[in-house]
Chain A
Amino acid sequence: MTEKHRDIDCREAADQLYAYLDGELTPARAEEVRRHLEKCAPCLAVSGFEKAYLRFLEARNFGREAPQSLRKRILDQLLFLDEGRSDTA
């Protein structure tokens, strides 16, 4: 069965745009947004801009790693917790 798609307006397309770009819409909902963008040049332009914005956020390397000293401190404490437990067992 082919699902019937609703026509959505610019307002609804704008509301759904991030979820659409994030791949969070159901296939039917995504199709509605896709169709709207196909026939609405202003919304398509906004979509291109928002896509660039999300890509910019994603590309920023906030990928800081936890300091090695912190990692070591945590490992030491796990060991300490284990020993504490076996002592009292």
Chain B
Amino acid sequence: MAPQPDDKRRAFEEEALPHLDSVYRVALRLAGDETQAEDLVQETMLKAYRSWHQYRPGTNVRAWLLTIVRHTFINEYRKRRRAGTEIDVSQVEAFTVFPEVQEVDPEGRFFDQIVDDEVLRAIDALPDEFREALILSDVEGLAYAEIAQVTEVPVGTVKSRLFRARQALQRELYDYAVEMGYIKKQPHD
């Protein structure tokens, strides 16, 4: 006997809906705007509900939902994303801004002075594949293997994208902190 709609809805409400906030946060950073994010989330959840029979109970439901939100974003929303200035991740070669701050702020206290909006602006300026790795890891706390599942790339790729995303973001936040006078720029040799 096919599951009754009530059973299906109950299962979906119990298992999938608790992850709505997570789906929303990821959608917000992917789409870059609240209205688009809401539409994206709504479409994601309805797609998930329609294909609930494809979800295998006991597997990672959050990763499954995040895969759907990502596909929906790529297929239908990405071109609508307002294009701003993108951080050039390929320019990130040197590991860490630490050599530049070690004299004045070895513990990285300047980070704490940077307001959330500025951090989000910098995250939003990362290219898509780097932004999604960083959001999934550092905002949503997914493990590398889960990020690999959601973004459909090998774990090694996740690792290198995350590395470069974090370094690019760190560089961006450092430049901002210098500009704001939170930290003194050290003269280069």
Residues of A bordering B, CB below 8 Å: 14-15, 18-19, 22, 24, 45-46, 48-50, 52-54, 56-58, 60-67, 70-71, 73-75, 77-79, 81-82, 85-86
Contact = CB atoms under 8 A, between A and B. Distances in A.
A67 to B, nearest CB: 7
Given A52-B111, A81-B49, A62 B25 contact: yes
B102 A45 contact: yes
A77 B46 contact: yes
Chain A interface main SS type: helix
27 contacts: A14-B95, A18-B159, A19-B144, A22-B137, A46-B95, A46-B98, A48-B106, A49-B96, A49-B106, A53-B108, A54-B138, A54-B166, A56-B111, A57-B138, A57-B139, A62-B120, A64-B28, A65-B21, A70-B41, A70-B42, A73-B42, A74-B20, A74-B45, A77-B42, A79-B9, A82-B6, A86-B5
B74 to A, nearest CB: 21
Contact of A45 (B23, B106, B163): B106
Contacts of B46: 74, 77-78, 81
A44 to B, nearest CB: 11
Interface string B138-181: 11010110000000000000010011001000100000000000
